[in-house]
Amino acid sequence: MTDDLTLPAKPQKKASRWGLFGPVLLLAIICAAWSGYWFYTAQRIQTQVLQHQKVLIAAGYQASFDPIRVTGFPYRMVIDFHRLNIISPSGKGLSAPEVRAEAYAYALDDWVAEAPQGLTLYRGRTGGIDRGKVSVMGTQLRASAFNLSKPVPTVAIEGDDLILAASDAGYPLPFTTAKALEFHLRPTANVADSADIMLNFTGAQGQPKSLAGDFGSARALSMQVEGAISHVSTIRDVGIASAWAAKGGQVSAFRLKLVQGGLTPLPTGTFTTGCQGGNAGGDLNVCASSDLLTPEATGHVNGKLNIEMAGTFNPIDVLGALNLISPDNMTIARPLLNMTLATQGTQTFTVEFHDGGAYIGPLKVSDAPILP
């Protein structure tokens, strides 16, 4: 007999498998939750598109496209529109064989789109007369819209190596080919319901009676336009210029620069106010600016446009190409303006818009531009 007491051995615990299967289970739960979110959101987006189509049709639009479905799982939301056709009651709109729109599934306020097969723009009616269509082709036709839920989103439209063709030669386009075109709209800093806009095209050429063609077909034209537009929500909600004008819409800090012949492209996102820097030998530099332009009750523009012009072009021909002197008034205006405007060197003068007309001094040279 012994005094040693031997305790019974404790049973060993089985090794936990949570360390092995826990992360796998957690990942499976996350994937299932994300998949549920994606398919739910995809269905909601498709429903919203169809509801918006019904709203447009009820408002008098033509709005049609082939049946759609949302793809892009797991990270993107992609909508492929085929035979897209959206035309407003005024006859303005667009159609395209194919438009692809997409956004990240976790950032549905930001979308990008492209039209790989080009598109057709409908120019609408002026005085009851249909202005026809414009075919637009290019190596890249793309658009983006960010912060869509905000009062003023950020929008960009861009095209490279553009070729434009109008169906009605009676309404010539500003240009028929261009190396690049871009349009930007962004909220004006510290100003509610206002947007900064910028339109820029480079390397443009055109047929006679077009903006680019009237300056000569041999040398390419570049133009940049900037300004700030008030009451943007009216344009976004109603889409009618007359309604915008009735709300007190205005364009401030308007700037335009037009350059022809042998110059580097205009800077993107900035405006160069000087007309200096052009090459000698016939290059044209035009700068136009206005602190404020407002619409009259008739829709005609009211305000002053300060113009600075340099180059060997006759200033009267430049004003005619810019439609600031109408063909009907050219015969009357030319002798008087030849007495006040030189044909060489830098010219500085003002065009005033009031009472539906455009005036240089006391001489009415054309009707004032009218809102579309």
* pLDDT value of position 277: 43
* pLDDT value of position 6: 59
| Backbone angles phi and psi of 303, in degrees to 5 | 150, -175
**Which residue in the block uniquely carries the two structure tokens 């269509």?**
133
Instruction: Indicate the DSSP class of residue 12.
Output: P
* pLDDT value of position 216: 66
Structural domain boundaries in the chain = 187-372
140 bridge partner residues:
160
Q: Is the sign of the CA dihedral 155, 300, 366, 340 positive or negative? A: negative
pLDDT in tens, 211-226: 888 776 677 888 888 9
Taking the whole predicted model, whether its pTM rises above 0.85 is answered as no
Q: What three-state secondary structure class fits 39? A: helix
* pLDDT value of position 197: 92
pLDDT in tens, 182-214: 999 999 988 888 999 999 888 899 887 788 887
Residues with pLDDT less than 70, the chain: 1-22, 216-217, 236-242, 261-283, 312, 336-345, 371-372
Strands (E), the chain: 62-64, 70-71, 76-87, 92-104, 111-114, 119-123, 125-126, 129-130, 133-137, 140-146, 154-166, 177-187, 194-204, 221-230, 251-260, 284-295, 301-310, 347-354, 357-360, 363-367
Residue 4, both tokens? 């040693």
* pLDDT value of position 14: 56
**Dihedral angle computed from the Cα positions of residues 292, 224, 96 and 109, in that order, rounded to the nearest 10 degrees:** -70
Residue 296, both tokens? 């009259």
pLDDT in tens, 12-71: 555 555 556 667 787 788 888 999 999 999 999 999 999 999 999 999 999 999 999 999
